[in-house]
């Protein structure tokens, strides 16, 4: 599995080089680079305090030393599966590749993480983590940091029945859906097309809200908005996303978003 992931990353980086050598950058729109987002979703099975301390004291500071910001969240509903959602924001794909290698050569990270690795090897604190590498949408090529009043985020993952349907859904977001979100109070942090992940074709986006009341109101206003009622029935958007996942998230105290 690790070998396959490394091969895929190499292919992605080769594609970026080919586009750039031809004078066309796939990750750049009108001179603005499209960011790369890496999601890591950990399923917690052991000492969650130990895991949170590892993120707070070792992993996130290591990425910060390479100017990478990290958001960290958990499900707002305690009845949901106990998971940690981490998102890393990179300026481009090549930076992602460089930083993921450099972190493991960082002495400060190694020293800070050693006690966690030694303690969690015989007594694991998570069963696994899923990774998704995403490229930002044209409409929002760079992340928008949430307002300080935010208390909730919402993670949404939209799966499409085939690649064409996925492209049509992304176009729907770029052309008009994101703009409508902003009108009704669904505040976008980032939107990304999944380039590599455990299940594809799909997209992931993250939104923020002041509280649960404003979240419920924003989605109610969206669902009854005449623009949405007209948009969703257009032939070009029909059956573009047929299996959706939504999780309301609370930011961890050490989250940088």
Tens place of pLDDT for every residue, the chain, 257 residues? 444 444 444 444 444 433 343 444 455 555 679 999 999 999 999 999 999 999 999 999 999 999 999 999 999 999 999 999 999 999 999 999 999 999 999 999 999 999 999 999 999 999 999 999 999 999 999 999 999 889 999 999 999 999 999 999 999 999 999 999 999 999 999 999 999 999 999 999 999 999 999 999 999 999 999 999 999 999 999 999 999 999 999 999 999 99
The pLDDT, as a whole number, for residue 118 is 98
Strand-pairing partners, residue 73, are 85, 251
Could you count the other beta carbons within 10 Å of the beta carbon of residue 98? 13
Query: Which is it for the CA torsion 51, 75, 201, 67, positive or negative?
Result: negative
Q: Is the omega angle on the peptide bond into residue 201 within 30 degrees of 0, that is, cis? A: yes
Whole-number Å distance between alpha carbons of 88 and 66: 11
Whole-number Å distance between alpha carbons of 113 and 208: 31
The C-alpha angle with vertex 94 and arms to 72 and 64, in degrees rounded to 5, equals 35
The pLDDT, as a whole number, for residue 181 is 98
Q: Are 203 and 169 in contact (CB under 8 A)?
A: yes
The pLDDT, as a whole number, for residue 216 is 98
CATH level 3 topology of 2-251: Alpha-Beta Plaits (3.30.70)
The pLDDT, as a whole number, for residue 171 is 98
Here the tokens at position 180 are 């409508």
Q: How far apart are the first and last CA of the chain?
A: 31
The residue whose two tokens read 């307002």 is 147
Here the tokens at position 192 are 């990304």
Here the tokens at position 235 are 């032939």
Q: What is the 3-state secondary structure of 157-224?
A: EEECCCHHHHHHHHHHHHHHHHHHHHHHCCEEEEEEEEEECCCCCEEEEEEEECCHHHHHHHHHHHHH
């Amino acid at each position: 599995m690790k070998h396959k992931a490394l091969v895929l990353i190499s292919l992605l980086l080769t594609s970026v080089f080919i586009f750039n050598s031809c004078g066309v950058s796939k990750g750049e729109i009108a001179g603005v680079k499209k960011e790369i987002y890496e999601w890591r979703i950990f399923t917690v099975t052991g000492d969650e305090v130990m895991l949170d301390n590892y993120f707070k004291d070792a992993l996130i500071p290591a990425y910060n030393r390479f100017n990478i910001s990290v958001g960290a969240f958990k499900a707002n509903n305690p009845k949901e599966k106990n998971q940690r959602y981490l998102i890393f924001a990179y300026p481009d794909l090549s930076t992602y590749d460089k930083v993921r290698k450099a972190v493991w050569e960082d002495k400060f990270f190694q020293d800070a993480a050693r006690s966690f690795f030694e303690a969690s090897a015989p007594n694991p604190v998570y069963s696994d983590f899923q990774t998704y590498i995403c490229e930002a949408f044209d409409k929002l090529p760079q992340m928008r940091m949430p307002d300080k009043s935010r208390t909730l985020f919402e993670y949404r993952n939209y799966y499409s029945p085939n690649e064409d349907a996925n492209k049509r859904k992304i176009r729907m977001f770029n052309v008009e859906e994101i703009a409508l979100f902003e009108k009704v109070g669904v505040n976008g942090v980032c939107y990304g097309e999944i380039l590599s992940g455990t299940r594809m074709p799909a997209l992931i986006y993250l939104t923020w809200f002041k509280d649960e009341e404003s979240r419920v109101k924003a989605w109610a206003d969206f669902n009854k908005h005449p623009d949405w009622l007209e948009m969703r029935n257009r032939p070009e958007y029909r059956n573009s996303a047929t299996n959706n996942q939504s999780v309301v998230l609370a930011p961890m105290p050490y989250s940088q978003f």
